[in-house]
Structure 1
Amino acid sequence: MGPFDDRDIVSGHVPGGTNTSHTVAIGHLTSLLSAVPKASGLADYETAAVEHNVLGRATTEGRRRTFRYLRELYLLDPSRVMFRAMRDLWDEDEQSQPLLAGLSAMARDSVFRASAAGLLALGEGTEATAGMLTGFVQAAFPNAYNEGTAAKIGRNTASSWTQTGHLRGRAKKTRQAVEPRPAALAFALLLGHLEGARGQSLYNTQWTAFFDVGVREIEAMAGVAGQRGYIELRSGGGIVEIGFRHLLRPMEDLANE
């Protein structure tokens, strides 16, 4: 396998994903990453979740099911560059963690991604209902889901966007802006890079739209990410170059971590 497995970012044109049956489960992800050292492998994450029950599930089947959802959304495998990059950035800034998780979930779950464009376009303070989110997904994947599954998708995506910080409230959810963070932005830029964007075009992708700010704010935050060593940023004469020397380091370096 090369440094990037093209299965990491799933196609946005094929229906399916964890949000058809579950949410992005950021709380469980946080518990798992807190319990397992950064240098660990996939088997260590599974052992922690299933055998040691760090997720606090009542039954073995519940532990396995929750771990399966987490693996679908986040990979949990340091030999996959997307997870390794997220894990690299995870401990840099606790406030970035819901954003990092949300970006990974968008990359891994086409249903969650399908809900994003409509949700992110809502003005701050606008009510966001489960039915509205169902509609966003149905517009992307017409006739893909029966009524019951479509309704569940609406409820799950509403909860997922609340976990990322884009919605607030319980019975009534309203849109709120998230605060962009340098570590999370570095991950968003990496996702754009993995999809083929380069230079200044990295500032205007579906991944940077996640942050509720304009291109100027993205540029400024990228400068901070560069200063902190998350990315390499060079600009001059109207040309922007963004590199990912650390986040895309060779997989052979895993043996030394």
Structure 2
Amino acid sequence: MKFINIICYKDNRSIVEQSDFFVKQDYPENFGFYSKSSHTGRTVMLSEFMTVMDNAPGFNDKEILKKIFVEDNLLKKESNSGRKISFYYLKHLYGLDSENKNFQGLLKYWKEKSPDNKIMALLCALSRDEVLRLSSGYILSVKTGDFAEKSGLKEIIDNYYQNIYSEKVRESMVRNLMSSWTQSGYLEGRSNKIRIKPEVSVHSFAYACYLAYLSGFRGKRIFHSPWVLVLCLNDSEAEELTKESNRKGLMSVKKAGSVVEVTFPEDLIGGTQ
């Protein structure tokens, strides 16, 4: 059975049409999804987020977490305002709340020092940042080895936000988005960004499937959801990761003819039905 069938390359649609890859859907905010953006002022802040994930004692007490940022200065910021701003943006980007179902999944599948943690961080940020979701269609449309142009993202940002943000802010958003996709392993290079294939493991694959489940996808539709398509896997890669996810108990996939049932550990899906 084919689980996924996508090749990430430029198609015949306009750049603006490609931008609808993620956005034409309402996402469940009660599960921790969000529809605002931090990219007017920040990137995905991957390095800072990794530091938080490696050092925070937990995410079930908001006051303790804020203390770690502001009083204990976990991120080594020079000013008190810098500490508060970093906490604000990271909380917007990732939730940092173990009560949120999407962040619960991140905590479940996160493995310390794993090279594909940056993919899981991107997936979590995509679930909470509308502008990042908006940019994904263009980034994925660029063929591996080709240049990703700022003008491509600028066209999308201008189309959606020309009457909301100034030209200066929109240009900043484009720079931040290019940096975010670079940090996440989809682009490389300093001035000229080249599209590369992301490094995906079984844990980021399972987390992508879980986000699809939270978004309302069921059965084999999970494997055709934007959350899985953003990983840019071919059929054989997705098939192997599905089998490995089964073996490791990260999720369960049962097939009976054309019917596919996908379930996740009870501690993740309890209360989501």
Q: Give the alignment's TM-score, normalised by structure 2.
A: 0.83
- 1:183-224 Cα distance to aligned partner (Å, 9 max, x none): 111111111111111010100111112211134422321221
In structure 2, the residue matched to 1:6 is: 30
Aligned counterparts, 1:1-257, within 5 A: 5-6=29-30, 8-11=32-35, 16-38=36-58, 40-91=60-111, 94-141=114-161, 143-246=163-266, 248=268, 250=270
- Cα–Cα, structure 1 residues 238 and 216, in superposed 2: closer, same or farther, change >3 Å? farther
Number of positions where the alignment pairs a residue of Structure 1 with one of Structure 2: 244
Query: Is residue 104–residue 268 contact of structure 2 (8 Å, CA) maintained in 1?
Result: no
- The separation in 2 between residues aligned to 1:92 and 1:243, in whole angstroms, is 25
- The separation in 2 between residues aligned to 1:39 and 1:9, in whole angstroms, is 17
Secondary structure of residue in 2 paired with 1:235: strand
- Cα–Cα, structure 1 residues 67 and 170, in superposed 2: closer, same or farther, change >3 Å? same
In structure 1, the residue matched to 2:14 is: none
- Structure scoring higher RCO (CA < 8 A, sep ≥ 6) equals 2
- The separation in 2 between residues aligned to 1:29 and 1:86, in whole angstroms, is 12
- The separation in 1 between residues aligned to 2:63 and 2:234, in whole angstroms, is 40
% identical aligned pairs: 27
Query: Deviation of residue 142 (structure 1)?
Result: 5.2
Q: Give the alignment's TM-score, normalised by structure 1.
A: 0.88
- Cα–Cα, structure 1 residues 44 and 154, in superposed 2: closer, same or farther, change >3 Å? same
- The separation in 1 between residues aligned to 2:229 and 2:137, in whole angstroms, is 9
Query: Is residue 233–residue 241 contact of structure 1 (8 Å, CA) maintained in 2?
Result: yes
- The separation in 2 between residues aligned to 1:197 and 1:169, in whole angstroms, is 35
Secondary structure of residue in 2 paired with 1:82: helix
How large is the Cα RMSD of the aligned pairs? 2.0
- 1:79-120 Cα distance to aligned partner (Å, 9 max, x none): 111111101211266122100110111110000110000111
Q: Name the amino acid aligned to 2:227.
A: W
Q: Name the amino acid aligned to 1:18.
A: S
- The separation in 1 between residues aligned to 2:236 and 2:157, in whole angstroms, is 30
Q: Which consecutive residues of structure 1, in runs of 5 or more, have no partner in the other structure?
A: 252-257
